[in-house]
Amino acid sequence: MASPFPGMNPYLENPLFWPEVHNLLIAAIFRKLNPQLRPKYKVAIEKRVYQTTDEDSLLVGVADVAVQSTQKTPLPQKATMAVASPLVEAVTVDVTMPETVKETYLEVRDVTTQEVVTVIEILSPKNKRQGEGRNAYVKKRLQVLGSSTNLVEIDLQRDGKPIQQIQNNLQTDYRILVSPAFKRPKADLYAFNLPNMIPFYPLPLREMDTEPILGIQTLINELYDEGNYDLVIDYTQDPVPPLSQENAAWVDEVLKEKGLR
């Protein structure tokens, strides 16, 4: 069954589905580009690894935690009297545990020199929230932008703070940044909303190279169908993360037209 939405399916952003969708989309781009780029270039799947903690929990930043007894503190007694201290019993607490995160991305490499020509990133929710996930990604991003490597940054997550800001702080649901090295500091930003189709864009390579057109919309539609997501998505429920009021009304109308509500 095809996705009921013309563009991004907001139900795929659910944390239950997104890790799989992310990996499937990485693999789909890999399969799509490699035949088009041979024999000069090869696409490789790379992995970024870092440790983080649950950002919804309190981080361990205080050396000691005081646990007070519920008993009242006794009044001062005369020095000649022995006073028994109240017993302090241990309580069960949760400690913040580090989580090892592995994020995959793509590199387009020159077959002869193994030089990385283009990096393709698909943002995860952790990249858009404050914490080690965003820090690790921004550090890598700045390294790429300061080099002769092209960058493509695909943001299909409505939740979180966008990495790339738009002039006048205009807000959109999704963004694709295409940053050819030779054009910096200028870059092309495809900013679009939930009702829009995901735009097609050229993959930057070296100057004078023919740039293939990458259609993320086609790949999203294919993986939705191949992954049988229609069997596990309950369209009678609201998506996670929640929609804006305007998007919620639009989604409700689309799903009613498709007979899914």
> Which tens digit of pLDDT belongs to each residue from 233-256?
999 999 999 999 999 999 999 999
Task: Give me the residue label for tokens 């990458």.
Answer: 214
pLDDT at 82: 62
Q: Which residue has the higher pLDDT, 102 or 67?
A: 102
Q: Grade residue 155 by pLDDT with cuts at 50, 70 and 90.
A: very high
Distances (CA, A) of 19 to 26, 168, 174: 11, 32, 17
Q: Which residue has the higher pLDDT, 38 or 132?
A: 38
pLDDT at 142: 96
> pLDDT tens digits for 27-79?
999 999 999 999 999 999 999 887 777 554 333 333 333 333 334 445 455 55
Pick from 151, 142, 96: nearest CA to 122: 151
pLDDT at 173: 96
Q: Which residue has the higher pLDDT, 161 or 78?
A: 161
Q: Which residue has the higher pLDDT, 175 or 99?
A: 175
The residues pairing with 104 across neighbouring beta strands, listed in sequence order, are 47
Pick from 224, 259, 241: nearest CA to 8: 224
CA angle 131, 136, 142 (to 5 degrees): 125
pTM score of the predicted model:
0.82
User: What 3-state class would DSSP assign to 214?
Assistant: strand
Name the E strands within the chain: 41-52, 99-110, 116-122, 150-155, 174-179, 188-192, 201-202, 213-214
Average pLDDT over residues 132-146: 93
Average pLDDT over residues 97-121: 92
Spatial distance between the Cα atoms of 206 and 188, rounded to a whole number of angstroms: 16
Is residue 201 within 8 A of residue 176, CB to CB? The reply is yes
> pLDDT tens digits for 200-241?
999 999 988 999 999 999 999 999 999 999 999 999 999 999
DSSP string, 129-161: STTHHHHHHHHHHHHHHTTT-EEEEEE---SS-
pLDDT at 207: 87
pLDDT at 69: 35
Spatial distance between the Cα atoms of 160 and 150, rounded to a whole number of angstroms: 25
CA atoms within 13 A on the CB side of 54: 7
Q: Which residue has the higher pLDDT, 126 or 156?
A: 156
Q: Give yes or no for residue 167 having a pLDDT over 80.
A: no
